[in-house]
Amino acid sequence: MTFPNFHLGRWLLYLGLSLSVVLSGCKKLIDFFDPETQFDPVHPSPIPGYQFVWGDEFSGDSIDEQSWQFRDWETAWLGPVPTMGRKENVSVNDGKMRIAMNIESYVDPETNKSYEVTAGGIQTKQAFKFGYYEASVKLSATKGWHEAFWTFWYNDIDPTTYFPGWETAVRTEIDVFEHLADYDTKTFTYGMYEHTGGWSNAAMTSVHRDMYFGETDLTSQFNTWGFEYTPEYLNYFFNDSLIKTVDVRDVPHREFYIWLSAIATRMPDGDGEMQVDYLRCFEPDTMSTAYQDRRAYFLQVLEDMKGEEQSEGIDLWIQAEDFVDKGGWTVANDDNIVAIKGHPNTTPVNEGVRYARTGIIVEEAGTYKLWVRGKDFKNNLPGSRFFNVFVNGGYSLQKYGTHGSDDLYDWQDGGLVYLEEGVNTIEIYDASLYYASCDKILLTTDHDFQPTGFGGETNVEHVSVNPPVEPTSLWVEAEDFVELGGWIVANDTGNEVIKGHVDRVIPEDETLRYAKTKIAIEEAGTYRLWVRGKDFKNNWPGTRHFEVLIDGVPATQRFGTHAADELFAWENGGEFVIESGDVIIEIYDSSCYYATCDKILLTNDLAYVPEGIGETQNVVHKPLLP
């Protein structure tokens, strides 16, 4: 760590410059960065409102272990090839910190585990929070390595220094750049994650995520990446140009450690080296005019992101993530908004899950203009992440997520649709099965209106429009069972029934007590068994009992024990979980005393209660042996 102290004269110069930029009404951010005030190789020159606090120019011949900690452990969760981080892979010479990324056989002496690749990196021992941070880095051109300049809420595997409540709190990660294993030499990704679910059940959600596609080679020269982290906005810079502003007002703000590191995420194509010229850290002078002017400017940038919020007509703003039925789409944060995301280059087994579906309640019928806000990349397979939107089932060839504009998310014109008063159905169809993302839909009676930015707040009521599932009710006549055993078919007061043994004469052949049949169950699920049998209210009620078994499982209820006013009545046999396929039903003569069974019902409408003689038989009785 060798760095001259911040120079007051230079600082005053920035204050003046930044003020004049704002006062002149200049909106281009590049004007904040006057060539006069750019970094030179030796002297730090902060962006307005910040002052240098710490850095490392890597001008010695070893890592300053007072300031840095090595990433000297295994990383295995990010790919098929576990990487051993080694202190020995990090060196300092010629003004650079170098991480050697090696294909080599290495056995960890502590665990005796063998590795095929080694790499590593360093993390600051000091924690930082709000500020401006910049590193100059030259990446490896060898594919298979994953290099990164990033922040994390821990700096080693010892949690004793973490913030109180870290075990369960949402924690954050800022990736200033990640150069993935198979990226070309001009592309990187960056973004911010929230880690939720606590220490033991950690999950990640994205605050935002973006990719940078430029003309600058990242592997043949040093380039600078910077980020400006404030309680309100997060700015990303590449080679002194602002590339993204993100609203972080709703994000929990944590201290972090700064990491410069590399691992393999597959077997690399060869050895590589990541080089870092410097890391420089600046803290905000929040009371300064320069900082306040800058803040005002970026708060306006955040405000401008919202775009037009209303037209001259009736606007129905519909968030995709509010759809009642999202099918196979998942809800995710992305680029300052919440969106739903389709399948990631996979084909679902069930076509139905390609639809997200909702009903919206419309107060005024009429012709509305449809607008859809979806995601596309200008420079990375533009137009390939497409989806369709159908209003009231109308078929549309219009694809969304195909705008190819500078912004990740943009509005596309869907033409005119007619909305009825009352419930109207909107469907989002995952047509590409390739990373489709939909943020929001607008239906407006102002046909000249063009939405921009995020658009207005949601103002519609969603209702389910999924067709009600038709229940399966299987009506089975006892007299049609394929094997009757000792039961006989009879007509009893107008009912075709089967009757068991009489006078408590138990047959020697136990099988004669069973009537059996086999029917097909098409819809797996939970079914309720109902049985219509005979009992006498005033003449030995409950004595003429019989049992029913479904695939060998007896109902807990005995039948013919209802003691109802009517001779025949339905009795509830409880619930059975039944797989699809053939099921065997048995009626067992448990009393051998005039048991009488008319009909059986299996229904997955668990609330249904049959009455009278029930419905007509609707099953086929199949031979017990196929």
Identify the three-state secondary structure at position 394: coil
Q: Give residues 52-71 in contact with Ca ion (rule: CB under 5 A).
A: 57-58
DSSP code at position 89: G
Compare residues 218 and 428 and give the one whose CB is closer to Ca ion.
428
Contact pick of 95, 252, 270, 542 for Ca ion (by CB under 5 A) = 95
Burial (Cβ within 10 Å: 0-12, 13-18, ≥19) of residue 313? middle
Compare residues 362 and 498 and give the one whose CB is closer to Ca ion.
498
Query: Residues touching Ca ion: how many (CB under 5 A)?
Result: 14
Contact pick of 277, 335, 547, 586 for Ca ion (by CB under 5 A) = 277
For residue 525, list its beta bridge partners.
578
Q: Give residues 539-578 in contact with Ca ion (rule: CB under 5 A).
A: none
CB of 24 to Ca ion, least distance (A): 36
Nearest to 613 by CA among 602, 600, 596: 600
Compare residues 142 and 275 and give the one whose CB is closer to Ca ion.
275
Nearest to 303 by CA among 226, 245, 217, 225: 245
Distances (CA, A) of 546 to 511, 571, 592: 14, 12, 8
DSSP code at position 161: G
CB of 571 to Ca ion, least distance (A): 15
d(CA 503, CA 253) in angstroms, rounded, equals 83
Q: Which residue number has the CB closest to Ca ion?
A: 95
Stretch that binds Ca ion, among 10-18, 235-243, 270-278, 307-315 (CB under 5 A): 270-278
The residue type of 172 is T
Q: Give residues 417-446 in contact with Ca ion (rule: CB under 5 A).
A: 439-440
Report the 10 Å Cβ neighbour count for 389.
Answer: 24
517 binding Ca ion? (CB under 5 A): no
CB of 478 to Ca ion, least distance (A): 5
599 binding Ca ion? (CB under 5 A): yes
Is residue 172 within 8 Å of residue 251, measured between CB atoms? yes
Q: Which residues contact 158 (CB under 8 A, 6 or more apart)?
A: none
Contact pick of 477, 535, 571, 589 for Ca ion (by CB under 5 A) = 477
Compare residues 17 and 339 and give the one whose CB is closer to Ca ion.
339
Q: Which residues contact 84 (CB under 8 A, 6 or more apart)?
A: 73, 74, 106, 108, 115, 117, 118, 119
Nearest to 374 by CA among 347, 316, 345, 334: 334
326 binding Ca ion? (CB under 5 A): no
Stretch that binds Ca ion, among 6-14, 65-73, 219-227, 469-477 (CB under 5 A): 469-477
Compare residues 196 and 458 and give the one whose CB is closer to Ca ion.
458
d(CA 500, CA 506) in angstroms, rounded, equals 10
Compare residues 32 and 329 and give the one whose CB is closer to Ca ion.
329
Contact pick of 18, 75, 223, 319 for Ca ion (by CB under 5 A) = 319
Helix 8-23 to helix 289-305 angle, to the nearest 10 degrees? Answer: 40
d(CA 38, CA 47) in angstroms, rounded, equals 8
CB of 570 to Ca ion, least distance (A): 12
Contact pick of 127, 338, 423, 567 for Ca ion (by CB under 5 A) = 338
Stretch that binds Ca ion, among 10-18, 25-33, 402-410, 592-600 (CB under 5 A): 592-600
Give residue for tokens 């908004």: 337
Identify the three-state secondary structure at position 512: helix
The residue type of 434 is Y
* 299 phi/psi in degrees, rounded to 5: -65, -35
Site string for Ca ion, 197-236 (x = CB under 5 A): ----------------------------------------
Query: Do strands 90-93 and 96-107 pair parallel, antiparallel, or not at all (unpaired)?
Result: antiparallel
Compare residues 42 and 296 and give the one whose CB is closer to Ca ion.
42
CB of 480 to Ca ion, least distance (A): 8
Stretch that binds Ca ion, among 92-100, 138-146, 407-415, 577-585 (CB under 5 A): 92-100
Compare residues 98 and 186 and give the one whose CB is closer to Ca ion.
98
DSSP code at position 256: B
Is residue 44 within 8 Å of residue 282, measured between CB atoms? yes
CB of 205 to Ca ion, least distance (A): 14
400 binding Ca ion? (CB under 5 A): no
Compare residues 169 and 332 and give the one whose CB is closer to Ca ion.
332
Stretch that binds Ca ion, among 95-103, 172-180, 296-304, 306-314 (CB under 5 A): 95-103
CB of 498 to Ca ion, least distance (A): 8
Instruction: Please report, to the nearest 10 degrees, the dihedral formed by the alpha carbons of residues 335, 338, 342, 343 taken in order.
Output: 70
Compare residues 175 and 277 and give the one whose CB is closer to Ca ion.
277
DSSP code at position 9: H
Contact pick of 449, 496, 525, 567 for Ca ion (by CB under 5 A) = 496
Is residue 219 within 8 Å of residue 138, measured between CB atoms? yes
d(CA 302, CA 169) in angstroms, rounded, equals 26
Residues that bind Ca ion in the complex, under the rule CB under 5 A: 57-58, 95, 277-278, 319, 337-338, 439-440, 477, 496, 598-599
